[in-house]
Amino acid sequence: MTVKKKYYFSFIVLGIVLLLSTMLNLGLGSVSIPFNEVMGVLFGGDSSRESWSYIIWNYRVPKALTAILVGSALSLSGLLMQTLFRNPLAGPFVLGISSGASLGAALLIMGTAIWSGWFSYGIINDISLAIASGIGSFLVLLIVVVVATRVKDSMALLIIGLMFGSITAAIVTVLSYFTQAEQLQQYIFWSFGTVGNLNWTQLLILTTSTLVGLFLSVLSLKSLNALLLGEQYARSMGVHIRKARYIIIIATGILAGAVTAFAGPIAFIGLAVPHLTRQIFNTTDHKILVPAVLMYGAILLLLCDTLAQLPMSSYVLPINAITSIIGAPVVIWLLIRKKKMIF
């Protein structure tokens, strides 16, 4: 089998697994709905119970689509950061984007404890949280882009991004110290991450943001492949390093910022999926890796969300816990089996 045919076959298999994972996610949940009823509603039929149709179209379908978008966006942003910094430990949040979003959410939720009267409990809802988180991540992204104009070394930019994350985390800690238990609990629940709170309007915004980030990533394919061998080699290949860095940072900021704003800070996916993809596909070509990480990220988060729901139970576990518990052992096993890291 030739290399091209091997990749075509792999993508066909991934497409089938993605479809099956989506069907599994739609078919299982706290409310028991027969699978044939779920399929009937999805293909335009009527359900024997009106409540089932409402649950499928207003909860399960948006949740499944959110899981696909979030998993894909985090995985792609992780790949971009690992390539830009040539660091296998880099993830989508190393530039402080997630920390900025967390700070925005913390100021909204826990601000009442410090600036009582400035905030109202009534304005703290899913939409206001998304707006506050989005503003926080955008401001940090703006600062990072400005810093990138003054810093020529990518590793220095990585360290600066980590420092931004430390500063915002410290501010959140101070807010947590002074806040009341109710607001602190609300912030902790937000930090667990979820893919089940989006309506169709929010889903449209998340989809648009993901497509913009994907478009910028596709524009950077040549630069990404060249950067794997170092900035000097990339320059010799005709890559404009500063322009490429801006595009990659902006793409990562849009992807990670939108995800954190709407789904909370979901860990592990962005760090692990690029490794998983490199090990399985045995390549560093971003023309292969970009679509592969999109599909692997979507599949992994769909499966994790299905497990987090505890099917046939009313309990829903934090998605962050499931992504790490399920995914980390798989990546460890792959790395041990391969004995070396492809990068």
Domain ranges for the chain, please list them: 3-338
C-alpha closest to that of 287 among 276, 275, 277: 277
Question: CB–CB of 308/302 below 8 Å?
Answer: no
Q: Is 77 within 8 Å of 71 (Cβ atoms)?
A: no
As a whole-number percent, the residues of the chain with pLDDT over 70 amount to 90
Number of Cβ within 10 Å of residue 154's Cβ equals 18
Q: How far is CA 223 from CA 16, 84, 89, in A?
A: 31, 9, 20
Structure token pair of residue 165: 């994350």
C-alpha dihedral sign at 203, 209, 215, 218: negative
Q: pLDDT digits over 286-295, tens only?
A: 999 999 999 9
What would the pLDDT profile of 223-240 be if each residue is shown by its tens digit? 999 988 887 888 888 888
Q: Note the pLDDT of residue 167.
A: 87
| 268 or 2, which is more confident | 268
* pLDDT (0 to 100) of residue 312: 62
pLDDT interval class at 117 (50, 70, 90): very low
Q: Note the helical H segments in 179-268.
A: 181-192, 200-219, 221-227, 231-236, 241-263
Over residues 256-280, the pLDDT tens digits come to 888 988 888 888 898 889 988 988 8
- pLDDT surpasses 60 at 123: no
Q: How confident is the model at residue 300 (pLDDT cuts 50, 70, 90)?
A: very high
Which of 68, 64, 66, 84 is CA-nearest to residue 251?
Answer: 84
H or E element at residue 9: helix 3-27
pLDDT tens, position by position, 132-141:
888 888 888 8
Q: 120 falls in which pLDDT band (50, 70, 90)?
A: very low
Q: How far apart are the first and last CA of the chain?
A: 24
CATH architecture for segment(s) 3-338: Orthogonal Bundle (1.10)
Backbone φ and ψ of 116, nearest 5°: -60, 135
Q: What is the residue whose two structure tokens read 């988180």?
A: 133
Q: What is the largest CA-CA distance in the chain?
A: 68
Nearest one of 267, 243, 250 to 138, comparing CA atoms: 250
Q: What is the mean pLDDT of residues 174-181?
A: 83
d(C-alpha 319, C-alpha 305), whole Å: 6
Question: Residue 301: what pLDDT?
Answer: 94
Positive/negative CA dihedral, 253, 259, 262, 267: negative
Q: Measured between alpha carbons, how far is 84 from 8 in angstroms, rounded to an integer?
A: 27
Tokens standing for residue 167: 């500063």
Nearest to 258 by CA among 314, 308, 214: 214
Q: Output the pLDDT for position 55.
A: 86
What type of residue is 84?
A: L
Chain-centroid distance of CA 232 in Å reads 31
Q: Is the pLDDT at 212 greater than 90, yes or no?
A: yes
Give the pLDDT of residue 119.
45
> Are 69 and 76 within 8 A, CB to CB?
no
Task: Give the pLDDT confidence score for residue 118 in this predicted structure.
Answer: 47
